[in-house]
Amino acid sequence: MKNWMLMMAFGVLMASCVNENKTMKEMNPFYETYSALYSVPPFDKILNKHYLPALKEGISQHNKDIDQIVNNPAAPDFKNTIEALDKSGDLLSRVSTVFFNVKEANTNDSIDQIAVEVAPLLSEHADAINLNAKLFARVQEVEKQKEKLNLNREQERLLEETFKRFVRGGANLAADKKEEFKKANTELALLELKFDNNMLAETNSYKMIVDKKEDLAGLPESIIAAAADEAKGLKLEGKWVFTLQKPSWIPFVTYSQKRDLREKLYKAMYSRGNNNNESDNKSVINKIVNLRLKKANLLGFESWATYVLDDCMAKTPKNVYDLIEKVWTPGLKRAKEETADMQKMIDREGGKFKLASWDWFYYSEKVRKEKYDLDEEEVRPYFQLNNVRDGAFAVANKLYGLNFKQIPNMPLYHPECQVFEVKDRDSSLIGILYMDFFPRASKKGGAWMNNYRDQYHYEGTADVRPVVSVTCNFSKPSGEKPALLNFDEVETLFHEFGHSIHGMLSQCHYRTLSGTAVSRDFVELPSQVMEHWAVEPEVLKMYAKHYQTGAVIPQKLVDKIIKAGKFNQGFITTEFLAAAILDMDYHTITKAGDIDVEKFEKASMEKAGLIPEIIPRYRSTYFNHAFPGGYSSGYYSYIWAAVLDCDAFEAFLEKGNIFDQGVATSFRKNLLERGGTDEAMKLYVNFRGKAPGIEPLLRKRGLN
């Protein structure tokens, strides 16, 4: 009797647990089909507590998908192994894209802690797949048969990329080496997360408080108002606060007449992560560089750069250094000329000091006014954010026939987001675009494009259209003024919008190959080519309208902008290439050892011949692209892609029409729609009819 009652109670308890588990799953929005318009993520329902269980469940479900592939009794073929792998892990993909995108754009302590907990789990999960001997054996078997399978080019490419991913993921390593490889991956995941968190903490922690009005001398009213708003938010009424967000520090060092304060703020900017505190990144860099070298060596490569570039257009470090040298020499020559111009101005004004890096923005702006009669603040009122955004939309409409409509009442991860449906000429859906423009403490610095959902179209199923986001850190509205951009921010908007177009126009069958899933030195082509239209007179007149009067930008200002287009290109080119060299120098190290980050950086720049008046665009301890970001041994990609984008835009100029429909259609069909379905250079030649040359780039920058 007692045993029967005990068993009955146990059964009730188990049923209760099952029901509770079921209820918990039902309450987690990631476990349900997204019901919002266009099936966008239900940001309004997602709570921080949902992420970790959904990520763990996603890992569990992905493991089951892998087990089904591995244990399939049928002989391995393209469909049951390669395509099945591409389809696997749907829940994990949905959760992780939301989680990591939100972490970048709107994080908090809870999300940061979840990231620390889940990073090693995801690293271990990826390794478990890449190092699964039975799974790799099936992939190998399909790869051996590839000549007999009658695959189309996209299927061939998926097979090639899948096989390569396993080999580069350590599948061929001996058992003991696999354990070393896995350990390195786990450590790297945590270190890269630490670098990122340190960077955000350093950026957010610094505030330069100004309490004397005379210390605001030279600053435009809009910048003063923004600083007052910042102070008000910190309960510092009657004062002005300047931060290390770009919309704050760049205008200050550009216009402030107080050299000591310019130096103070500039040094705070370039000292981030190098303050010997809990957020210091020097030891993190040391460990990252050595662990990456260890991984590369395990896989048979002499350096991390050799490993990374083997999967890029550049192929070898030598090819990267060769390109850098071709642009570095004329760029540095021009930078020295610009330095001389500014020193003459300092001497003429009785400055009695040598130009320093914290003076460059200030004196280059003065030289620009003197040489070209162009004042950036005179131009800014014509670059109201929403008008610039609509200008980018108009360019996409004239080139590709795309139409953008803002959708109200959509689920948002932050109230400042805007959402647009994007449709083609025939009214078919192209994608959903989220845009998030302003800096905040919960958002990392910079600008980027991400996917919340990839495009794919498996045979016999509906075409799944992408959900993409563009995230920036632009000048905020201040006082009664709307957000007014400087021209650097205008180009940034067009740039990131170009990435989004690449993601949305994708017409691929497989997620692994769709949209922006291309090599890093190719992915910047669609973004950088869009920048060309931003400054074209025909386009400026489409979107550059005075925020108060609505008047189109006057021709005299357009002429000044065009005339000054090559101004300061020595600095712009050299500071960028200095960072690219620094990235390459770290990652071409072939011998493990302790790295003194400050000495290493100094030696790297001295060897390159960088002049002391310029520092790298990113110094080591806040070099997000090279360390936590996905551009290690890849920051050069922007200049590599610049060769492509200048050559591509030349195709429009050769036709005498920047909106030539023949060229635009070819660019869309041969590049933007194709994702990574073929070799990057082949895609480019299919569009252009020939390989790119460097001359259009040098000509555009005035360096030839």
Q: Which residues are identified as catalytic?
A: 496
Decide: helix, strand or coil at residue 369. Answer: helix
Residues in contact with 365: Cβ distance below 8 Å, sequence separation at least 6, in sequence order: 254, 255, 376
Residue 294, phi-psi category: left (phi > 0), alpha (psi -120 to 50), beta (remainder): alpha
Residue 60 has which token pair? 């569990």
Neighbours of 6 (CB within 10 A): 10
Residue 214 is inside which H or E element, if any? none
Residue 340 has which token pair? 């001389």
User: What is the number of residues in the chain?
Assistant: 704
AA letter at 369: K
- Among the residues of 206-316, which ranges form H helices? 221-233, 246-255, 259-270, 282-298, 304-309
Alpha-carbon span 223 to 23, nearest angstrom: 52
Q: Residue 686 — φ and ψ, nearest 5°?
A: -60, -35
Nearest to 679 by CA among 559, 464, 515, 522: 522
Q: Residue 383 — φ and ψ, nearest 5°?
A: -115, 60
Residues in contact with 549: Cβ distance below 8 Å, sequence separation at least 6, in sequence order: none
Residue 83 has which token pair? 């395509």
User: How are strands ordered across the β-sheet holding 418-423?
Assistant: 403-406, 418-423, 429-436, 467-471, 448-453
Task: Please say whether the beta carbons of 379 and 222 come within 8 A.
Answer: no
Alpha-carbon span 155 to 142, nearest angstrom: 12
Helices 569-587 and 637-655 sit at what angle, rounded to 10 degrees?
Answer: 140
Alpha-carbon span 481 to 694, nearest angstrom: 42
Alpha-carbon span 663 to 671, nearest angstrom: 11
DSSP class per residue in 469-536:
EEE--PPPPBTTB--B--HHHHHHHHHHHHHHHHHHS---S-GGGSTT-S-HHHHHHHHHHHHHHHT-
Alpha-carbon span 695 to 415, nearest angstrom: 45
Alpha-carbon span 478 to 483, nearest angstrom: 7
Task: Decide: residue 270, CB within 10 A, 0-12 exposed, 13-18 middle, 19+ buried.
Answer: middle
Task: Please say whether the beta carbons of 270 and 358 come within 8 A.
Answer: no
Neighbours of 293 (CB within 10 A): 25
Alpha-carbon span 571 to 612, nearest angstrom: 12
Alpha-carbon span 228 to 476, nearest angstrom: 12
Alpha-carbon span 172 to 183, nearest angstrom: 16
Alpha-carbon span 500 to 453, nearest angstrom: 12
